[in-house]
Amino acid sequence: MIGSLLRRDLARFFPFAGGGAALPVVFFVAVAMLYPFAVGPDVTMLARTGGGVVWIAALLAAILPLEKLVAQDIDLGVFDQLKLRGLSEEMMMAVRLLAHWLSFGPPLLLAAFPAAALLALEGETLRLLLMGLAAGTPGLAAIGLMIAALTASLRAGAALSGLLLIPLALPILIFGAGALARQDAASIGFVAAISLLLVAIAPFAAGAAIRAAREA
């Protein structure tokens, strides 16, 4: 049952496949392409600030799929039917978290290569950027899922979810982008620790949120 659910979720969210939108990846690459045009093609400045821009682009790209991450399936009654088949909300949300991360985490890591080339990020900086994104995107996915579940029954959910994500994502951004500024791999460890914590609590928080949405 869980395998079929994961396959369905992936088919819905994976970029370039079926109903999935390529928007997060396109958005991410677009920011990297536009940034040198906005600030000028000075290689040293691009190399110094580019990592931070890539991090901001990754954070914002993670917000884009939130609107349809949970709310749509509540309206369709999919969670109700899965519940009747004995699946717990926590398990549904754990599967959704994995599908959400797979649909934007690895594609962003791949897209980071052209982005890094455009922003003149090389060598150690590129390595820290990729490691940081690999460690940080699960946390961003977890925050996104929790927010999507919490705001699913609200009318202005989409606008609110953007606002909610920013403070919650700050620790990941500070340590992830900070690792680039200081050329310090230890910060990546902090990013991974924050991600781990968020991934651990997300299925429970999101599961409770969709249960509460039913009662409303």
Give me the residues that bind other proteins (CB under 8 A), please: 1, 4-5, 8, 12, 18-19, 75-78, 80-86, 214-215
The CA distance from 161 to 163, in Å, is 5
The CA distance from 131 to 137, in Å, is 10
Tokens of 143: 């925050």
- Residue closer to other proteins (CB basis): 182 or 214: 214
Q: What single letter denotes the amino acid at residue 203? A: P
Could you tell me the smallest distance in angstroms from the CB atom of residue 2 to other proteins? 9
- Residue closer to other proteins (CB basis): 69 or 147: 69
Cβ–Cβ < 8 Å for 143, 197: no
Could you tell me the smallest distance in angstroms from the CB atom of residue 3 to other proteins? 8
Question: How many Cβ atoms sit within 10 Å of the Cβ of residue 10?
Answer: 18
- Residue closer to other proteins (CB basis): 85 or 155: 85
Could you tell me the smallest distance in angstroms from the CB atom of residue 36 to other proteins? 37
The CA distance from 198 to 74, in Å, is 23
Tokens of 136: 């940080």
Could you tell me the smallest distance in angstroms from the CB atom of residue 103 to other proteins? 16
Could you tell me the smallest distance in angstroms from the CB atom of residue 176 to other proteins? 34
- Residue closer to other proteins (CB basis): 37 or 215: 215
Question: How many Cβ atoms sit within 10 Å of the Cβ of residue 215?
Answer: 6
Cβ–Cβ < 8 Å for 137, 101: yes
- Residue closer to other proteins (CB basis): 11 or 160: 11
Angle between helices 186-215 and 89-118 (to 10 degrees): 140
